[in-house]
């Protein structure tokens, strides 16, 4: 309904025109709509100059600026504190409403509350709409109308609730004539350098165009997802997480394709999209998990926390080839395959006895697709501290995982070239080779490649003892 004169669309993690829920709401309600993106100093000032995500956002925002301009609209690109700039810009433009897509992270919710207060004081409305998920907050609940903390019942309830209404795209293009190019002189962000960042070379193409190419590439492969998704050397997964993170792709488009397509590949992939929503609603219901274990009994567990082991893990020199290859992939590209995220997380927590929050924080710095809800969910799963977590006594064996999921050692060879001459059988545990075999492969352990920093069998025993101790403490506390 056309009930507003003009609206400012505030883009955050929905960097696209296509099927953009907030843009649709703005266009539908107003005669005139312009847009803004703020490189928010409250977030950016904490990041290093070489942060890859800022490059991804910069490239995506610039492509979007051109797309708005082509359709007769304007996207302002600002650098400063969003909580101050948004109310000021809205006032200068004289709009009667600001529209944005909902964000479910605790800091974003606090920021939006501040902006809401400032806008209200100026007599400007602030409206948030759901865009980044199919179901948010408490749209999917148990039969007793309580939040779900276990994935399978959540997934079943999600699948029961979904229908084509929730998956339909918003018909934005029919309202493009309402896009507006206000004649306002304002200082805009002119370059990454000017904001204190250095442009990084990315392996993924940013923006809506990059997202569309990646999506078309995956549609062809979706049927094989179930069969190939666990093998990091095979192109089995979608690599769409960064586009979902920054909203260069619409979740409705992805979920609709997977839901309608049928078959095991599509159904398994849809489950992964549902995991994403599961963790997002979980974080919204339990924001304190962002800085503590969900399960109270695991909050005060003792940790070894050896700094030198942590550094070896971060840098990919633990002496475990699959762990090192994975960490080097992360450091070099900003991406890590899901199977490897599980392996390196388990290794840090259970083999090295290092607090899962250290690993969570390192991933948060390095991942191009860093998503607080999924990252925290993944780490708390691995640490057995989360809502629907791995059993504490289930300890991944990094050698068996390596043999099973990188059987020919192709992935290891790519990121740990010093082991490239080893055979598919030998590459997973080079310390087991005889000195003659190592010599034949030109490998000196401890010089060309590290000796393992821990022995898995011994570390596993210690981890099990620790968990047994925690379990006993817990049962005696309960008995008292």
Ligand X SMILES: Cc1cc2nc3c(=O)[nH]c(=O)nc-3n(C[C@H](O)[C@H](O)[C@H](O)COP(=O)(O)OP(=O)(O)OC[C@H]3O[C@@H](n4cnc5c(N)ncnc54)[C@H](O)[C@@H]3O)c2cc1C
Given 76, 259, 379, 396, the residue binding ligand X (CB under 6 A): 379
174 contacts 308 by C-beta, under 8 angstroms: no
Q: Which is nearer to ligand X, 11 or 240 (CB)?
A: 240
* Binding to ligand X in span 428-447, by CB under 6 A: none
The region of 33-41, 274-282, 284-292, 308-316 touching ligand X under the rule CB under 6 A is: 274-282
Query: Which residues, including other chains, have CB under 8 Å from residue 394's CB and lie 6 or more apart?
Result: none
* Residue 210 binds ligand X, judged by CB under 6 A: no
Copy the structure tokens of residue 44. 């950016």
Given 166, 175, 239, 303, the residue binding ligand X (CB under 6 A): 239
- Edge-to-edge strand ranges of the sheet holding 4-11: 75-80, 30-40, 4-11, 97-101, 125-129
Given 54, 95, 240, 389, the residue binding ligand X (CB under 6 A): 240
Instruction: In angstroms, give the least distance from the CB of 383 to ligand X.
Output: 9
Instruction: In angstroms, give the least distance from the CB of 356 to ligand X.
Output: 9
Q: Which is nearer to ligand X, 25 or 245 (CB)?
A: 245
Given 57, 90, 342, 387, the residue binding ligand X (CB under 6 A): 342
With contacts defined by CB under 6 A, how many residues of the chain interact with ligand X? 29
Pure H helices in 71-191 = 82-93, 106-121, 151-161, 164-167
Dihedral sign from CA coordinates of 465, 377, 357, 450: positive
Q: SS3 of 32, please?
A: strand
Q: Which of 139, 199, 303, 331 is catalytic?
A: 303
298 is catalytic: no
Per-position b or e across 241-277, b if 16+ CB within 10 A of its CB? bbbbbbbbbbbbbbbbbbbeeeeebbeebbbbbbbbb
Q: Which of 158, 269, 379, 381 is catalytic?
A: 379
Instruction: In angstroms, give the least distance from the CB of 113 to ligand X.
Output: 25
**Rounded to whole angstroms, how far apart are CA atoms 188 and 39?**
10
303 is catalytic: yes
Instruction: Please count the other Cβ atoms lying within 10 Å of the Cβ belonging to residue 45.
Output: 10
* Residue 238 binds ligand X, judged by CB under 6 A: yes
104 contacts 139 by C-beta, under 8 angstroms: no
Given 40, 369, 406, 418, the residue binding ligand X (CB under 6 A): 369
Per-position b or e across 418-450, b if 16+ CB within 10 A of its CB? bbeebeeebbbbbeebeeeebeebebeeeeebb
356 is catalytic: yes
Instruction: In angstroms, give the least distance from the CB of 381 to ligand X.
Output: 6
* Residue 363 binds ligand X, judged by CB under 6 A: yes
Q: Which of 116, 139, 331, 338 is catalytic?
A: 338
Q: Which is nearer to ligand X, 270 or 422 (CB)?
A: 270
**Rounded to whole angstroms, how far apart are CA atoms 37 and 189?**
10
Instruction: In angstroms, give the least distance from the CB of 184 to ligand X.
Output: 36
Given 88, 149, 331, 338, the residue binding ligand X (CB under 6 A): 338
Instruction: In angstroms, give the least distance from the CB of 339 to ligand X.
Output: 8
379 is catalytic: yes
**Rounded to whole angstroms, how far apart are CA atoms 457 and 346?**
14
Instruction: In angstroms, give the least distance from the CB of 236 to ligand X.
Output: 8
**Rounded to whole angstroms, how far apart are CA atoms 233 and 251?**
26
- Please count the CA atoms within 13 angstroms of the CA of 9 that sit on its side-chain side: 33
The DSSP code sequence of 254-293 is HHHHHHHH-SHHHHHHHHHHHHHHHHHHHHHH-GGGGTS-
61 contacts 35 by C-beta, under 8 angstroms: no
* Residue 273 binds ligand X, judged by CB under 6 A: yes
284 is catalytic: no
358 is catalytic: no
Burial classification of residue 384, based on how many CB atoms lie within 10 Å of its CB (0-12 exposed, 13-18 middle, 19 or more buried): buried
Q: What is the number of the residue whose Cβ is closest to ligand X?
A: 378
40 to 59: interface string for ligand X, x by CB under 6 A: --------------------
Q: Which is nearer to ligand X, 7 or 375 (CB)?
A: 375
* Residue 276 binds ligand X, judged by CB under 6 A: yes
Given 18, 102, 371, 406, the residue binding ligand X (CB under 6 A): 371
* Binding to ligand X in span 309-328, by CB under 6 A: none
**Rounded to whole angstroms, how far apart are CA atoms 227 and 476?**
45
* Residue 374 binds ligand X, judged by CB under 6 A: yes
Which residues form the interface with ligand X (CB under 6 A)? 229, 237-241, 244-245, 272-273, 275-276, 279, 337-338, 341-342, 345, 363, 367, 369-371, 374-375, 377-379, 382
């Amino acid at each position: 309904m056309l009930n507003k004169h003009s609206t400012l669309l505030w883009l955050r993690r929905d960097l696209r025109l296509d099927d953009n829920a907030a843009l649709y709401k703005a266009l539908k309600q107003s005669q005139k709509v312009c847009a803004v993106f703020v490189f928010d100093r409250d977030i950016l000032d904490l990041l290093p100059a070489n942060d890859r995500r800022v490059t991804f956002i910069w490239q995506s925002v610039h492509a979007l600026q051109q797309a708005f301009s082509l359709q007769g609209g304007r996207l302002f690109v600002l650098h400063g504190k969003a909580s101050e700039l948004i109310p000021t810009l809205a006032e200068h433009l004289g709009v009667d409403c600001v529209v944005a897509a909902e964000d479910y992270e605790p800091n974003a919710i606090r920021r939006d509350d501040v902006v809401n207060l400032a806008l209200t004081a100026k007599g400007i409305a602030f409206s948030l709409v759901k865009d980044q998920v199919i179901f948010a907050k408490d749209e999917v609940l148990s039969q007793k109308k309580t939040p779900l903390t276990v994935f399978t019942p959540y997934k079943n309830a999600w699948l029961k609730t979904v229908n084509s209404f929730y998956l339909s795209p918003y018909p934005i293009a029919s309202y493009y004539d309402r896009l507006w190019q206000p004649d306002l002189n304002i200082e805009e962000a002119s370059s990454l350098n000017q904001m204190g960042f250095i442009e990084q070379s990315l392996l993924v193409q940013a923006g809506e165009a990059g997202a569309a190419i990646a999506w078309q590439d995956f549609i062809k492969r979706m049927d094989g997802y179930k069969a190939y998704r666990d093998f990091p050397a095979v192109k089995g997964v979608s690599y769409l997480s960064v586009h979902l993170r920054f909203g260069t792709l619409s979740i409705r488009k992805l979920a609709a394709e997977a839901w309608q397509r049928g078959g095991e590949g599509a159904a398994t992939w849809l489950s992964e999209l549902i995991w994403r929503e599961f963790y997002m609603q979980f974080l919204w219901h339990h924001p304190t998990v962002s800085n503590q274990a969900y399960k109270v009994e695991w909050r005060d567990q003792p940790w070894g926390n050896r700094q030198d082991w942590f550094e070896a893990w971060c840098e990919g020199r633990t002496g475990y080839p699959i762990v090192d290859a994975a960490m080097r992939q992360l450091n070099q590209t900003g991406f890590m395959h899901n199977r490897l995220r599980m392996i390196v997380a388990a290794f840090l927590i259970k083999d090295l006895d290092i607090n899962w929050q250290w690993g969570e924080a390192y991933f948060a710095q390095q991942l191009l697709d860093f998503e607080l809800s999924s990252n925290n969910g993944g780490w708390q799963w691995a640490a057995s501290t989360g809502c629907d977590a791995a059993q504490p006594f289930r300890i991944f064996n990094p050698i068996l995982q390596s043999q099973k999921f990188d059987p020919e050692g192709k992935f290891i060879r790519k990121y740990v070239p010093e082991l490239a001459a080893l055979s598919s059988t030998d590459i997973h545990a080079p310390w087991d080779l005889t000195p003659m075999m190592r010599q034949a492969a030109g490998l000196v352990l401890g010089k060309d490649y590290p000796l393992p920093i821990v022995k898995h069998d011994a570390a596993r025993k210690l981890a099990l003892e620790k968990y047994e101790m925690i379990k006993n403490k817990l049962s005696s506390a309960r008995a008292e």
